[in-house]
Protein backbone atom coordinates (compact mmCIF):
# COMPACT_ATOMS: atom_id res chain seq x y z
CA UNK A 1 0.00 0.00 0.00
CA UNK A 2 1.21 3.48 -0.90
CA UNK A 3 0.55 5.93 1.96
CA UNK A 4 0.48 9.68 1.25
CA UNK A 5 0.05 12.43 3.83
CA UNK A 6 -1.91 15.26 2.21
CA UNK A 7 -2.32 18.76 3.63
CA UNK A 8 -3.46 20.72 0.56
CA UNK A 9 -7.11 20.87 -0.51
CA UNK A 10 -5.82 21.33 -4.07
CA UNK A 11 -4.47 17.79 -4.17
CA UNK A 12 -5.80 16.33 -7.48
CA UNK A 13 -7.30 13.23 -5.84
CA UNK A 14 -9.18 15.33 -3.28
CA UNK A 15 -10.41 17.75 -5.94
CA UNK A 16 -11.72 14.80 -7.97
CA UNK A 17 -13.44 13.24 -4.97
CA UNK A 18 -15.07 16.53 -3.96
CA UNK A 19 -16.61 16.81 -7.41
CA UNK A 20 -17.80 13.22 -7.16
CA UNK A 21 -19.45 13.68 -3.77
CA UNK A 22 -21.09 16.96 -4.80
CA UNK A 23 -23.01 15.31 -7.67
CA UNK A 24 -25.55 12.61 -6.73
CA UNK A 25 -25.24 11.08 -10.19
CA UNK A 26 -21.55 11.76 -10.62
CA UNK A 27 -20.70 8.06 -10.61
CA UNK A 28 -22.47 7.72 -13.95
CA UNK A 29 -19.86 10.00 -15.53
CA UNK A 30 -16.77 8.74 -13.72
CA UNK A 31 -17.54 5.09 -13.00
CA UNK A 32 -16.37 5.67 -9.42
CA UNK A 33 -18.21 5.67 -6.09
CA UNK A 34 -17.46 7.39 -2.82
CA UNK A 35 -18.46 5.52 0.33
CA UNK A 36 -18.03 7.01 3.78
CA UNK A 37 -17.52 5.19 7.05
CA UNK A 38 -15.98 1.92 8.13
CA UNK A 39 -19.35 0.10 8.07
CA UNK A 40 -19.83 0.61 4.34
CA UNK A 41 -16.21 -0.17 3.60
CA UNK A 42 -16.38 -3.43 5.54
CA UNK A 43 -19.65 -4.35 3.80
CA UNK A 44 -18.02 -3.79 0.41
CA UNK A 45 -14.97 -5.86 1.33
CA UNK A 46 -17.13 -8.72 2.60
CA UNK A 47 -18.81 -8.87 -0.82
CA UNK A 48 -15.49 -8.93 -2.67
CA UNK A 49 -15.30 -5.28 -3.70
CA UNK A 50 -11.79 -3.84 -3.78
CA UNK A 51 -11.34 -0.12 -3.04
CA UNK A 52 -9.15 1.80 -5.43
CA UNK A 53 -8.33 4.47 -2.85
CA UNK A 54 -8.91 4.99 0.86
CA UNK A 55 -8.97 8.40 2.53
CA UNK A 56 -8.68 8.60 6.31
CA UNK A 57 -8.03 11.25 8.88
CA UNK A 58 -4.85 11.63 10.87
CA UNK A 59 -6.81 10.56 13.92
CA UNK A 60 -8.04 7.41 12.18
CA UNK A 61 -4.46 6.35 11.54
CA UNK A 62 -4.08 6.02 15.31
CA UNK A 63 -6.93 3.48 15.39
CA UNK A 64 -5.56 0.03 14.58
CA UNK A 65 -8.83 -1.24 13.06
CA UNK A 66 -9.24 1.76 10.77
CA UNK A 67 -5.59 1.74 9.80
CA UNK A 68 -5.98 -1.93 8.85
CA UNK A 69 -8.95 -1.04 6.63
CA UNK A 70 -6.76 1.48 4.84
CA UNK A 71 -4.52 -1.43 3.88
CA UNK A 72 -7.32 -2.91 1.76
CA UNK A 73 -6.55 -0.38 -0.99
CA UNK A 74 -3.39 0.00 -3.09
CA UNK A 75 -3.23 3.68 -2.08
CA UNK A 76 -4.32 5.60 1.02
CA UNK A 77 -4.42 9.33 1.69
CA UNK A 78 -4.04 10.57 5.26
CA UNK A 79 -5.60 14.02 5.66
CA UNK A 80 -6.46 16.48 8.42
CA UNK A 81 -10.10 16.37 9.58
CA UNK A 82 -10.73 19.75 7.93
CA UNK A 83 -9.95 18.26 4.51
CA UNK A 84 -11.98 15.13 5.18
CA UNK A 85 -15.00 17.29 6.00
CA UNK A 86 -14.82 18.60 2.44
CA UNK A 87 -15.64 15.09 1.20
CA UNK A 88 -18.30 14.28 3.75
CA UNK A 89 -22.06 14.56 3.48
CA UNK A 90 -22.51 14.00 7.21
CA UNK A 91 -22.93 16.54 9.99
CA UNK A 92 -20.47 14.46 12.00
CA UNK A 93 -18.05 13.13 9.38
CA UNK A 94 -16.69 9.64 9.62
CA UNK A 95 -12.95 9.10 9.94
CA UNK A 96 -12.55 7.02 6.79
CA UNK A 97 -13.93 6.73 3.28
CA UNK A 98 -13.09 4.96 0.06
CA UNK A 99 -13.35 5.26 -3.69
CA UNK A 100 -14.66 2.17 -5.47
CA UNK A 101 -14.82 1.37 -9.16
CA UNK A 102 -18.39 0.70 -10.24
CA UNK A 103 -18.73 -2.45 -12.34
CA UNK A 104 -20.52 -2.37 -15.67
CA UNK A 105 -24.30 -2.27 -15.30
CA UNK A 106 -25.71 -5.80 -15.19
CA UNK A 107 -28.44 -7.05 -17.49
CA UNK A 108 -31.92 -7.74 -16.15
CA UNK A 109 -32.32 -11.29 -14.83
CA UNK A 110 -35.77 -12.17 -16.25
CA UNK A 111 -36.59 -14.87 -13.68
CA UNK A 112 -35.30 -13.20 -10.51
CA UNK A 113 -37.45 -12.10 -7.60
CA UNK A 114 -37.28 -8.34 -7.91
CA UNK A 115 -38.30 -4.93 -6.65
CA UNK A 116 -39.24 -2.30 -9.24
CA UNK A 117 -38.84 1.34 -8.23
CA UNK A 118 -41.14 3.64 -10.18
CA UNK A 119 -39.80 7.21 -9.92
CA UNK A 120 -39.07 7.14 -6.18
CA UNK A 121 -37.34 10.40 -5.42
CA UNK A 122 -36.43 10.26 -1.74
CA UNK A 123 -32.94 8.85 -1.22
CA UNK A 124 -33.81 7.60 2.24
CA UNK A 125 -36.76 5.63 0.94
CA UNK A 126 -34.73 4.12 -1.88
CA UNK A 127 -31.91 3.08 0.45
CA UNK A 128 -34.35 1.61 2.98
CA UNK A 129 -36.04 -0.45 0.26
CA UNK A 130 -32.67 -1.79 -0.84
CA UNK A 131 -32.00 -2.84 2.76
CA UNK A 132 -35.33 -4.66 2.92
CA UNK A 133 -34.73 -6.36 -0.42
CA UNK A 134 -31.37 -7.66 0.77
CA UNK A 135 -32.81 -8.74 4.12
CA UNK A 136 -35.63 -10.75 2.58
CA UNK A 137 -33.55 -12.42 -0.13
CA UNK A 138 -34.66 -10.36 -3.13
CA UNK A 139 -31.47 -9.86 -5.11
CA UNK A 140 -32.59 -7.68 -8.02
CA UNK A 141 -33.76 -4.06 -7.90
CA UNK A 142 -34.87 -2.36 -11.11
CA UNK A 143 -35.16 1.43 -11.08
CA UNK A 144 -37.14 3.32 -13.69
CA UNK A 145 -36.04 6.71 -14.98
CA UNK A 146 -36.88 9.41 -12.47
CA UNK A 147 -35.83 7.33 -9.47
CA UNK A 148 -33.14 8.72 -7.16
CA UNK A 149 -29.65 7.70 -8.28
CA UNK A 150 -29.09 4.28 -6.74
CA UNK A 151 -25.37 4.74 -6.08
CA UNK A 152 -25.54 8.32 -4.80
CA UNK A 153 -23.90 8.96 -1.42
CA UNK A 154 -27.26 9.48 0.33
CA UNK A 155 -28.76 6.25 -1.02
CA UNK A 156 -25.56 4.38 -0.18
CA UNK A 157 -25.72 5.61 3.41
CA UNK A 158 -29.39 4.69 3.73
CA UNK A 159 -28.70 1.27 2.20
CA UNK A 160 -26.17 0.46 4.93
CA UNK A 161 -24.20 -1.93 2.71
CA UNK A 162 -27.14 -3.63 0.97
CA UNK A 163 -25.96 -2.36 -2.42
CA UNK A 164 -22.99 -4.68 -2.53
CA UNK A 165 -25.10 -7.84 -2.50
CA UNK A 166 -27.74 -6.74 -5.02
CA UNK A 167 -28.13 -6.70 -8.78
CA UNK A 168 -29.01 -3.05 -9.42
CA UNK A 169 -30.24 -1.87 -12.80
CA UNK A 170 -31.31 1.75 -13.24
CA UNK A 171 -32.42 4.19 -15.91
CA UNK A 172 -35.05 1.79 -17.22
CA UNK A 173 -38.22 2.51 -19.17
CA UNK A 174 -41.48 0.72 -18.38
CA UNK A 175 -41.14 -1.25 -21.61
CA UNK A 176 -37.86 -2.74 -20.37
CA UNK A 177 -39.85 -4.67 -17.77
CA UNK A 178 -41.26 -6.80 -20.59
CA UNK A 179 -38.03 -8.78 -20.21
CA UNK A 180 -39.26 -10.13 -16.87
CA UNK A 181 -40.85 -13.56 -16.85
CA UNK A 182 -42.02 -13.14 -13.24
CA UNK A 183 -45.38 -11.46 -12.58
CA UNK A 184 -45.55 -7.87 -11.37
CA UNK A 185 -47.48 -7.04 -8.20
CA UNK A 186 -48.39 -3.59 -6.89
CA UNK A 187 -50.15 -2.31 -3.81
CA UNK A 188 -53.43 -0.47 -4.19
CA UNK A 189 -56.20 0.84 -1.98
CA UNK A 190 -58.69 -0.02 -4.74
CA UNK A 191 -58.56 -3.81 -4.75
CA UNK A 192 -60.43 -6.68 -3.15
CA UNK A 193 -57.21 -8.64 -2.56
CA UNK A 194 -55.71 -8.32 0.93
CA UNK A 195 -51.97 -8.92 1.16
CA UNK A 196 -51.94 -11.70 3.76
CA UNK A 197 -55.07 -13.42 2.44
CA UNK A 198 -54.04 -13.94 -1.18
CA UNK A 199 -51.59 -16.51 -2.51
CA UNK A 200 -48.66 -14.55 -3.83
CA UNK A 201 -46.79 -15.81 -6.88
CA UNK A 202 -43.21 -16.78 -6.21
CA UNK A 203 -40.96 -15.44 -7.51
CA UNK A 204 -42.51 -12.11 -8.37
CA UNK A 205 -41.58 -8.45 -8.87
CA UNK A 206 -42.98 -5.96 -6.37
CA UNK A 207 -43.64 -2.54 -7.90
CA UNK A 208 -43.22 0.42 -5.54
CA UNK A 209 -44.41 3.78 -6.83
CA UNK A 210 -43.64 7.46 -6.55
CA UNK A 211 -44.10 8.87 -3.03
CA UNK A 212 -46.90 11.23 -4.06
CA UNK A 213 -48.31 9.84 -7.32
CA UNK A 214 -47.99 6.13 -6.67
CA UNK A 215 -47.42 3.60 -9.44
CA UNK A 216 -47.95 5.06 -12.91
CA UNK A 217 -51.08 3.92 -14.78
CA UNK A 218 -48.87 2.46 -17.52
CA UNK A 219 -46.99 0.31 -15.05
CA UNK A 220 -50.11 -0.59 -13.06
CA UNK A 221 -51.61 -1.97 -16.27
CA UNK A 222 -48.68 -4.39 -16.51
CA UNK A 223 -49.31 -5.83 -13.04
CA UNK A 224 -50.79 -9.30 -12.79
CA UNK A 225 -52.07 -8.61 -9.27
CA UNK A 226 -52.76 -5.69 -6.95
CA UNK A 227 -53.06 -6.13 -3.20
CA UNK A 228 -54.03 -3.92 -0.30
CA UNK A 229 -52.19 -3.63 3.00
CA UNK A 230 -54.62 -3.55 5.95
CA UNK A 231 -54.45 -0.28 7.86
CA UNK A 232 -56.90 -0.49 10.75
CA UNK A 233 -55.44 2.67 12.23
CA UNK A 234 -57.17 4.63 9.50
CA UNK A 235 -54.16 6.38 8.00
CA UNK A 236 -54.43 7.33 4.36
CA UNK A 237 -51.31 5.50 3.26
CA UNK A 238 -48.03 4.01 4.39
CA UNK A 239 -44.59 5.34 3.64
CA UNK A 240 -43.37 3.53 0.53
CA UNK A 241 -40.33 2.06 2.28
CA UNK A 242 -42.55 0.67 5.05
CA UNK A 243 -44.97 -0.75 2.48
CA UNK A 244 -42.11 -2.41 0.63
CA UNK A 245 -40.81 -4.04 3.81
CA UNK A 246 -44.28 -5.41 4.63
CA UNK A 247 -44.78 -6.81 1.13
CA UNK A 248 -41.34 -8.39 0.94
CA UNK A 249 -41.81 -9.94 4.37
CA UNK A 250 -45.14 -11.45 3.34
CA UNK A 251 -43.60 -12.89 0.19
CA UNK A 252 -40.87 -14.48 2.27
CA UNK A 253 -43.36 -15.73 4.87
CA UNK A 254 -45.42 -17.46 2.23
CA UNK A 255 -42.35 -18.97 0.58
CA UNK A 256 -41.24 -20.31 3.96
pLDDT band of 236, cuts 50, 70, 90: low
pLDDT at 147: 98
Instruction: Indicate whether 89 pLDDT > 90.
Output: no
pTM: 0.93
Rounded CA separation 60/84 (Å):
11
Range with lowest mean pLDDT among 36-50, 118-132, 230-244? 230-244
- Under 8 Å between Cβ of 141 and 70: no
pLDDT at 234: 67
pLDDT at 231: 82
Rounded CA separation 50/28 (Å):
19
pLDDT at 37: 95
pLDDT at 6: 96
Across 181-201, average pLDDT:
92
Going by C-beta distance under 8 Å and a sequence separation of 6 or more, which residues neighbour residue 8? 14
Average predicted confidence (pLDDT) for the chain: 94
Taking the CA atoms of residue 88, residue 90, residue 94 and residue 98 in that order, the dihedral angle to the nearest 10 degrees is -40
pLDDT band of 92, cuts 50, 70, 90: confident
pLDDT at 164: 97
- Under 8 Å between Cβ of 241 and 128: yes
Tens-digit pLDDT profile for residues 119-151: 999 999 999 999 999 999 999 999 999 999 999
Amino acid sequence: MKLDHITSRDNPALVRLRKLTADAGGYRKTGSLWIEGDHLLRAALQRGWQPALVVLTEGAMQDAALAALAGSAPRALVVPMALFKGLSGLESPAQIGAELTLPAAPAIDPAAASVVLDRLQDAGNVGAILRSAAAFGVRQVLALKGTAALWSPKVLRAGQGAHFGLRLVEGLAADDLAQLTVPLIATSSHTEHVLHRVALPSPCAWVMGHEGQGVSPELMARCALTVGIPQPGGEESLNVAAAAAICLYESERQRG
